Amino acid sequence: MLCSLSCFTASSNSKAASLHWTAERMLSVLLLAMGPVAYFNPGPVIDYSLAAALTLHGHWGLGQVLTDYVHGDTKIKMANAALFLLSTITFTGLCYFNYNDVGRNRTRSASLWGHVILCM
């Protein structure tokens, strides 16, 4: 399903809100599928895909918290700017880790197997 950027930013338009809700649910289902795929087939494509998907999922989730609990024009603008900064730093950090280290999935596998070996 191809859609413009407007389907990823909720507005007062019920069609845009519906498309945003659908995109959130599709991303959640995609994340459920990406977990096992990432574990059994680690690699740069899945690492960067997970970095993007996890960052977007967190951004949308925290955005909903801000929508519910932050009131006042100035506060909303400051909170949205802080959320955008946090999401940018998160995505940049995950990409940096994927590029300069072994990647997120191999790190999880190594820590899991290291723990199993220590328990034996």
Count of C-beta atoms within a 10 Å radius of residue 36: 9
**What is the model's pLDDT at position 16?**
86
Structure confidence at residue 18 (pLDDT): 87
Is 57 annotated to bind ligand?
Answer: yes
With a cut of 50, list the residues of the chain below it in pLDDT: 1-8, 10, 112-113, 115-120
At residue 75, the pLDDT reads: 96
Q: Where are the domains of the chain?
A: 5-119
| CA contacts within 13 A on the Cβ side of 73 | 0
99: annotated binding-site residue? no
CATH 1.20.1300.10 matches 5-119: yes
Judged by phi (left if over 0) then psi (alpha if -120 to 50, else beta), residue 72 lies in left
